Structure 1
Amino acid sequence: MTDGNNILKIRGDSIIKLTKKDDNKYAIVAGKVPSWLNATQQSSMLGLPELRTGIEPWLTSLFQSEHLSVLTGNGLSIAVQFLATGDGNTAMSGQDIDSAFKDKILEAARKSSVASGRGEKNIEDEIRVTNELIRGLEILGYDTDAAKKDDYKKLCQGLEALIKDFTDGISKIEASVATAALKERAFGYLVSFLMSFASRTGTRERLNIFTTNYDRLIEAGAELAGLHLLDRFVGTLAPIFRSSRLDIDMHYNPPGIRGEPRYLEGVARFTKLHGSIDWVDVGTDIRRIGLPFGSADIKNFLNAPGLDNVDRRKVMIYPNSSKDRETAEYPYVELFRDFAAALCRPNSTLVTYGYGFGDDHINRIIRDMLTIPSTHLIVISYDDAGGRIKKKYEEFGRSSQISLVIGKDLANLPTLVDYFMPKPSIDKASIRMGELLKQRYSETKVESVQADFPSLSGGADL
């Protein structure tokens, strides 16, 4: 879809392609000139300030929708790690499983990946197929047949080794960011990114943050930002996952006012759709263990009272559900119920960042959301690897409800935060400033100030 260019589609305009020139200017190489550019800008090269005048007010308006959700994928982890270390490790690779069924597993994983539109298989595909094979062998009695038990046991050991490679890779991502020389810069951009979404007026519903990532970078960023995350886990020492999720929130009583509690700022609802490296299956419960950020070996933290017979195979990372809990069942069904409930309602906006649209179970919910005319989807991505974004854009068939910001020059985290994302503003200071400008100064003066501060242009739904 990008063909080396940047893709932009906002407001009611059609898709345009932009190419970056050596002087940090952008030229429109395909598509109709957008309506929000003035006559002078339409005939000249565009810089980031000019692009900002169109993109930032549009995002500011949509971010103040009645219901706002953000879905992050692996691209966010890569972006933060790259800012901190100059390198990006997806942690999606590992050694092939050592088993008599190796060739069958690899072939099934490849077919599964191709069918989903991702192309090349990854370690997630191997884990899922191996889990299915283990369950099948148990049905055939391999776990009790003396002649076949060794093959079954070796397959289980191979799965544990595969998961070890995977969880170690995730931990390395966390550790590399936590110990990098530029970690302050990386976390600074992550905090600004999160707070751009979380800074909503008090009359709006809470922000919903969803992620398919297994690492805890969002949790780390939220902690640095002072952003309190509400999830389904209850408890302190070993929080337990609860299906009976109440509509719990955090409020405060303003001084001198009784009986009118207000939303506490800096609170968001948080859901990890594919699990996390610190979630483990403990008998009948899912618990979150106290795994330090960037820990070198998760096994050391599984040796604790109450975690009897818990090994790496019990780590709740999709698709590594325990053998009697497929991803269509507990606990993932509860997480996806939250996802569907947050998205599929009127006046809802979903922003995706770093999500490649490679998960059909997520794409179906997004497609259903777009059947509601007042909903909107904003896709922000560094690239369109595999052409999946283009394919889904065409399949959804709701171009007027979809905005696109795609390309390494527009959607990289620093450019996005510095130029295009709404600036965090918990209170109404910027709103009041915009009103005062209109009252005290001429239209010319107001337009001059608004050029420097596009968020004051009145585009937000306040």
Structure 2
Amino acid sequence: MDKINVIREIRELKTHLSYSKNIGFFFGAGTSCALGIPNVEQLTSGIEAKLTDDFLANFKLVKTDLETIITDRKVNIEDILNQIRRIRELTGETSKVYEGVSGENAKLLDKEICTIIYNIILGKESVADISQTKKFFAWLSLLNRDFSKEVFTTNYDLIIEKSLEASQIPYFDGFVGSFEPFFWQESIDQFVSKNDMTQNWIRLWKIHGSLSWFWKEDKITKSQKIIRIGKIENIKKEDKELVIYPSKEKYDSSKKQPFIAYFDRLKNYLLSGELLFVFTGYSFSDQHINEIIFNCLRQNNRLTVLVFFFQDSEVENLHKQTSSYMNLNVFGPKKAIINGNLGEWEYDSADLKTNENSDSFWNDGKSEFTLGDFNELVNFFITNSGKKEAIESIVK
């Protein structure tokens, strides 16, 4: 296996960050996990432990059925919710039964699962230390760029929103209004101009839904739309259904719902010209997202993608799919993909210049690259920004 000089690649990374005019980010579950929010596997077991009686019985029926179909990995809560929603669609939410679960019971189970998810995530959020996320967005908001700063995320927790609002950093997520903010498709279809006062606002696109989104039925047309609701004291008393892991069957066919518009935005953004796009905490397990990324890497030779992984197994898996992409660089603890080649990190302190220090990216004791950890990546950005005091001031 090739040897890759980690110090040389860090210098290249610093150059990218310093001179790229347009920079965007994609947050996966790993960024929230770094703050103590449970991942999908932990969430799946946590939900099953809290379900009782008929809810638990129907949950197990759906899960067992899926385990005969999905054999290459563990069935998770996303699979289960998608299947429950298929049952709701197939049965018309009536007494008709599919694999032992009626449409009526599927609807009740869906709402119960989402209620448990809401309570689990909000419980963890209430004790999470969001200082690193606040620092990241303070750093991002201080970047002098001619383009809007866009963050896409599969996370549906409210860590990002809480971090931005705590630091009074303006952001926009595609919803407008104050009583029951509604999704405004036109605001996403267009890119902002240099004269737009909102150009420097953070753009936040939550492509798997959010704990603050709820379905609302239009009583006249009977179609579903999504509204954003603020803090809720008791989710069990909320009659509207939560919008997470959105199911395509609920879309209003006459309008784009947020997730469809966000996927279009991701594609158009990645094809928009010169762009540095950074992935952190994302495992590349969502094929729909991957297809957009790989297609854009092929079509836009001015797009540079950087991926930071927490585990080397993720580096190896991605290499099997992306060895031909020269504009994709992947960083893991001991392995990396540079210019399409999979290699092992090589570190020699003698390569450091007088003013260079490796503490911000290398663990000497473990001989590992550390930026796959979201917390370490944020520290690296701040350390090399030259604006540490200004960032600390915003956070405080």
Q: TM-score per shorter chain, which class?
A: 0.7 to 0.9
Instruction: Give the Cα separation in 1 of the matches to 2:203 and 2:11.
Output: 24
* Residues 16-415 of structure 1: pairs in structure 2 closer than 5 A: 31-34=2-5, 54-55=9-10, 58-62=13-17, 64-81=19-36, 90-93=42-45, 94-95=47-48, 98=55, 105-110=62-67, 114=71, 119-138=73-92, 143=94, 151-177=102-128, 183=129, 187-202=130-145, 204-245=146-187, 247=190, 267-283=201-217, 284-291=224-231, 297-300=234-237, 302=238, 310-311=239-240, 314-320=241-247, 323=250, 330-371=257-298, 372-384=300-312, 387-407=313-333, 410=370, 411-415=372-376
Q: Is the 8 A contact 2:277 2:305 kept in 1?
A: yes
1:351 shift after superposition: 0.7
User: Which stretch of the first structure deviates more once superposed, 346-355 or 417-426?
Assistant: 417-426
Q: Is the 8 A contact 1:279 1:315 kept in 2?
A: yes
1:193 shift after superposition: 2.2
Q: Is the 8 A contact 2:215 2:227 kept in 1?
A: yes
Secondary structure of 1:276's match?
strand
C-alpha spacing 1:369/1:321, structure 2 compared with 1 (3 Å): closer
The aligned residue for residue 417 of structure 1 is 378
Gap runs ≥5 in structure 2: 218-223, 334-367, 391-396
Q: Deviations over 1:266-298 (max 9, x none)?
A: 521110001101101111431101125xx6x32
Query: RCO (CA 8 Å, sep 6+): is it higher in 1 or 2?
Result: 1
Q: 2:212 is aligned with what amino acid?
A: D
1:342 shift after superposition: 1.0
1:165 shift after superposition: 2.0
The aligned residue for residue 453 of structure 1 is none
Q: Deviations over 1:335-369 (max 9, x none)?
A: 11111111123212211110111111110111012
Q: 1:195 is aligned with what amino acid?
A: A
Secondary structure of 1:245's match?
helix
Q: Is the 8 A contact 2:153 2:207 kept in 1?
A: yes
CA RMSD of the aligned region, Å? 3.7
Q: 2:27 is aligned with what amino acid?
A: T
C-alpha spacing 1:339/1:422, structure 2 compared with 1 (3 Å): farther
Aligned residues: 338
1:264 shift after superposition: 6.7
Gap runs ≥5 in structure 1: 1-29, 38-53, 178-182, 252-260, 303-309, 430-462
Q: 2:3 is aligned with what amino acid?
A: K
